[in-house]
């Protein structure tokens, strides 16, 4: 059977098996058969004009008179989303692309069928490989329908026509047997309205599709506006870097971005200095920009090293979103077999005006006299005077200890009644918003991440998945109540690290088998495989608390402050996906 006929046959099978027989029969009686591989769309598609995309995709995706390619013209997604499509087409349908062609297709489709910055930012944690608890899932029905097997950010990274959302359901039913069972089970979520007049409960997939059609349609005001604004990013020049690395602390420095041969392709040179211990990192890399704002890159200082917590030894992947005015960016530079290590990065474009990009230490205490505060940035003026610097109400610069174009060391007095909170740091016309927290005392500790996952490894087949923690101190803020929006984060504090048993199963002693936690809060999991020392020879998986005990901060009873994080140590990920072609 020719390839095109096989594909049409497959889609007929998908469409028919995904619908109840009664509905299929009723539709057949009312209308002539349609080719499910080329559904009749009621919405206006987005034409595909790029010759490479038409050449590589147009063999199977038919074109209409308006330049639309079937299926493709009715979806939009991130660069990672298009990379997933290419991989699936290569694996299932015989698509053949060189790495250069793949990057070209992804770049083109990201430009014309991508996401606007406002659409990409809420789901940026997915391409940044952040391990977080998703709080954006609206109800339990959608959690079970869309987030039981993958992050909810996966479908939220797409915009589709109604027909395409329906076809995605069919694809899941055809490829994943558990999806068919899950989709056909009536909704049991007590938060969902009860149908009136004894009507049958909706199916979970119907609830999910209704939500996605409403919140992720093909055409949105954000995308329409961005299409008019989108242009070459023009990022060449010097960028000031503020980078926080869990377990290592704050780094500051610069990233020199040099335009390369193709538009929106760049070479980079990165220099960072640890504000905690003074060590420096120098890296070189390359990157490219998708959709006018979305950076994907790599950088390294040389060969891979052996230490998992040493950033200077690893090639680092970079995912950042640049602001629409191209004056700042935020994102994550990450590495590790499970992307578990990474800098949280903020960039600020350097200019002729003074710019403050970071301060050290993290915070100052109310009532402090003669405290040393260091400003890091660029283009600081010669002859800097205390009056040139504004640290907000109650914070006074009494002396400039030393100054250079990129750093100023200050002596600062903080009034006892200085407002608690994150103060702006002003120098000339530059403002580092909320750059200097002022606090009265450390009221509690929060261990981050608050929930974590690590994976056993170390055998020939599976590498370990580490976990890195931090203990962040917090002032309870003006209301004096902890865990409220006005609480003030003060940065990492000095603690002792331990693990404690999580009593999900009695007498299993997980804490003795799952792995080791260092005093730098790096967790190294145990080897995978049956352990003859454990009851029933079980693997070394388990659940534990990661506990931080403050060395110098105490509660009202004089006891050291404590914080903890829940960690699951589980088996290796036996199947993993990545999109190396998205980076350069």
Of 229-233, 419-423, 499-503, 576-580, the range with the lowest mean pLDDT is 576-580
- In the predicted structure, residue 296 carries a pLDDT above the cut 60: yes
Q: Do the Cβ atoms of 492 and 219 come closer than 8 Å?
A: no
pLDDT tens, position by position, 180-220: 887 777 777 777 777 777 777 788 888 999 999 999 999 99
Distance CA 321, CA 334 (A): 15
β-strand partners of 377:
356
Over the range 189-220, which residues count as b (16 or more CB within 10 Å of their CB) and which as e?
Answer: eeebeeeeeeeebbbbbebbbebbbeebbbeb
Of 29-33, 255-259, 556-560, the range with the lowest mean pLDDT is 29-33
Distance CA 172, CA 527 (A): 34
Q: What is the pLDDT of residue 37?
A: 44
Q: What is the pLDDT of residue 548?
A: 98
CA distances to 5, 348, 380 from 359, rounded to whole Å, are 64, 14, 14
H/E run at residue 140? helix 140-146
Q: Do the Cβ atoms of 76 and 159 come closer than 8 Å?
A: yes
The 515-517 sheet, strands edge to edge: 467-468, 522-525, 515-517
CB burial of residue 221 (10 Å; 0-12, 13-18, 19+): exposed
Q: Do the Cβ atoms of 76 and 103 come closer than 8 Å?
A: no
pTM over 0.75: yes
Alpha helices in 408-564 (DSSP H): none
Q: What is the pLDDT of residue 580?
A: 54
All residues at 6 or more sequence positions from 551 whose CB lies less than 8 Å from its CB, including other chains: 494, 495, 496, 560
Distance CA 271, CA 568 (A): 36
- Please report, to the nearest 10 degrees, the dihedral formed by the alpha carbons of residues 180, 186, 192, 197 taken in order: 140
Q: What is the pLDDT of residue 309?
A: 65
Confidence grade of residue 149 (pLDDT, cut at 50, 70, 90): confident
More confident: 303 or 444: 444
- In the predicted structure, residue 4 carries a pLDDT above the cut 60: no
Q: What is the mean pLDDT of residues 8-13?
A: 40
- In the predicted structure, residue 56 carries a pLDDT above the cut 80: yes
β-strand partners of 344:
244, 332
Chain centre to alpha carbon of residue 192: 30
- In the predicted structure, residue 16 carries a pLDDT above the cut 70: no
Distance CA 486, CA 420 (A): 9
pLDDT tens, position by position, 426-444: 998 889 999 999 999 999 9
Confidence grade of residue 2 (pLDDT, cut at 50, 70, 90): very low
Distance CA 509, CA 496 (A): 21
All residues at 6 or more sequence positions from 530 whose CB lies less than 8 Å from its CB, including other chains: 537, 538, 539
Of 133-142, 234-243, 478-487, 505-514, the range with the lowest mean pLDDT is 505-514
Q: What is the pLDDT of residue 70?
A: 94
Q: What is the pLDDT of residue 204?
A: 86
- In the predicted structure, residue 20 carries a pLDDT above the cut 70: no
Distance CA 20, CA 23 (A): 6
- Proportion of the chain above pLDDT 90, given as a percent: 74
Residue 57, sorted as left (phi over 0), alpha (psi -120 to 50) or beta, turns out to be: alpha
Greatest CA separation found in the chain?
87
CB burial of residue 81 (10 Å; 0-12, 13-18, 19+): buried
By three-state DSSP, how is residue 102 classified? Answer: helix
Confidence grade of residue 24 (pLDDT, cut at 50, 70, 90): very low
H/E run at residue 93? helix 79-93
By three-state DSSP, how is residue 72 classified? Answer: helix
pLDDT tens, position by position, 59-104: 999 999 999 999 999 999 999 999 999 999 998 889 999 999 999 9
Distance spanning both ends of the chain, measured CA to CA? 38
Rg for the chain (alpha carbons), in Å? Answer: 27
Distance CA 454, CA 43 (A): 45
Distance CA 241, CA 281 (A): 12
Strands 560-570, 451-455: pairing is: parallel
Domains of the chain: 3-227 (no CATH), 237-349 (2.40.128.120), 355-439 (2.60.40.10), 444-570 (2.60.40.10)
By three-state DSSP, how is residue 327 classified? Answer: coil
What is the DSSP annotation of 339-389?
Answer: S-EEEEEEEEE--SS-EEEEEESS-EETT--SEEEEEEEE-PPTT--GGGE
Of 74-88, 295-309, 452-466, the range with the lowest mean pLDDT is 295-309
Cis status of the peptide bond prior to 441, with omega within 30 of 0: no
Distance CA 480, CA 491 (A): 19
Among 565, 567, 572, which residue's Cα sits nearest to residue 542?
A: 567
- In the predicted structure, residue 8 carries a pLDDT above the cut 80: no
Over the range 111-132, which residues count as b (16 or more CB within 10 Å of their CB) and which as e?
Answer: ebbbbbbebbeebbbbbbbbee
- In the predicted structure, residue 506 carries a pLDDT above the cut 80: no
Q: What is the pLDDT of residue 5?
A: 42
Highest mean pLDDT among 12-26, 176-190, 393-407: 393-407
pLDDT tens, position by position, 347-384: 999 999 999 999 999 999 999 999 999 999 999 999 99
Q: How many CA atoms lie within 13 A of 55 on its CB side?
A: 10
By three-state DSSP, how is residue 104 classified? Answer: helix
Q: What is the pLDDT of residue 18?
A: 42
- In the predicted structure, residue 312 carries a pLDDT above the cut 70: no
Mean pLDDT of the chain: 89
Cis status of the peptide bond prior to 409, with omega within 30 of 0: no
Q: What is the pLDDT of residue 287?
A: 96
How many C-beta neighbours within 10 Å does residue 34 have? 12
Distance CA 382, CA 380 (A): 7
Alpha helices in 147-247 (DSSP H): 153-156, 162-175, 177-184, 204-215, 221-229
pLDDT tens, position by position, 266-277: 999 999 999 999
Among 248, 249, 269, 267, which residue's Cα sits nearest to residue 258?
A: 267
């Amino acid at each position: 059977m020719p390839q095109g006929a096989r594909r049409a046959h497959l889609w007929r099978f998908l469409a028919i098996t995904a619908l109840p027989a009664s509905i299929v029969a009723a539709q057949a009686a009312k209308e002539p058969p349609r080719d499910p591989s080329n559904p009749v769309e009621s919405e206006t598609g987005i034409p595909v004009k790029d010759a490479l995309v038409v050449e590589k995709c147009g063999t199977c995706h038919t074109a209409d008179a308006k330049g639309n390619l079937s299926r493709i013209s009715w979806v939009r997604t991130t660069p990672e989303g298009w990379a997933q499509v290419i991989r699936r087409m290569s694996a299932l349908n015989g698509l053949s692309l060189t790495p250069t062609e793949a990057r070209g297709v992804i770049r083109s489709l990201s430009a014309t069928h991508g996401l606007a910055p406002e659409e990409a930012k809420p789901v940026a944690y997915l391409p940044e490989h952040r391990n977080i608890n998703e709080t954006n899932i609206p109800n339990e029905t959608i959690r079970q329908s869309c987030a039981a097997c993958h992050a909810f950010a996966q479908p939220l990274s797409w915009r589709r026509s109604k027909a395409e959302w329906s076809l995605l359901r069919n694809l899941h039913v055809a490829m994943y047997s558990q999806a068919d069972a899950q989709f056909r089970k009536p909704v049991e979520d007590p938060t969902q309205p009860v149908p009136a007049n004894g009507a049958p409960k909706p199916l979970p997939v119907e609830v999910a599709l209704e939500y996605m059609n409403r919140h992720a349609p093909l055409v949105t005001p954000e995308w329409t506006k961005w299409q008019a604004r989108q242009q070459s990013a023009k990022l060449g020049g010097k960028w000031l870097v503020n980078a926080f690395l869990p377990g290592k602390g704050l780094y500051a420095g610069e990233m020199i971005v040099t335009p390369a041969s193709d538009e929106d392709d760049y070479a980079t040179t990165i220099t960072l200095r640890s504000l905690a211990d003074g060590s420096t990192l120098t890296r070189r890399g390359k990157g490219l920009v998708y959709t006018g704002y979305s950076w994907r890159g790599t950088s390294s200082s040389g060969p891979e090293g052996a230490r998992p917590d040493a950033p200077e030894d690893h090639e680092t992947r970079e995912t950042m979103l640049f602001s629409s005015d191209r004056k700042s960016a935020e994102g994550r530079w990450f590495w590790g077999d499970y992307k578990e290590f990474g800098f949280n990065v903020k960039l600020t474009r350097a200019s002729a005006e003074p710019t403050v990009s970071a301060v050290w230490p993290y915070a100052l205490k109310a009532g402090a006299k003669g405290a040393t505060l260091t400003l890091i940035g660029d283009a600081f003026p010669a002859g800097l005077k205390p009056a040139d610097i504004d640290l907000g109400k109650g914070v006074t610069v009494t002396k400039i200890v030393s100054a250079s174009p990129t750093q100023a060391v200050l002596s600062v007095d903080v009034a006892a009644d200085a407002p608690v909170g994150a103060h702006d740091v002003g120098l000339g016309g530059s403002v580092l918003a909320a750059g200097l927290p002022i606090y009265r005392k450390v009221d509690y500790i929060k261990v981050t991440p608050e929930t974590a996952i690590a994976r056993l490894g170390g055998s020939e087949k599976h590498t370990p998945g580490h976990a890195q923690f931090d203990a962040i101190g917090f002032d309870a803020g003006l209301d004096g109540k902890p865990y409220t929006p006005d609480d003030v984060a003060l940065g990492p504090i000095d603690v002792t690290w331990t693990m404690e048993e999580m009593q999900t199963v009695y007498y299993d002693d997980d804490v003795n088998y799952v792995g080791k936690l260092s005093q730098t809060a790096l967790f190294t999991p145990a080897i995978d495989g049956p352990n003859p020392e454990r009851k029933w020879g079980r693997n070394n998986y388990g659940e534990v608390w990661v506990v931080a005990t403050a060395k110098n901060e105490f509660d009202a009873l004089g006891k050291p402050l404590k914080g903890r994080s829940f960690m699951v140590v589980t088996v290796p990920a036996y199947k993993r996906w990545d999109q190396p072609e998205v980076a350069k």
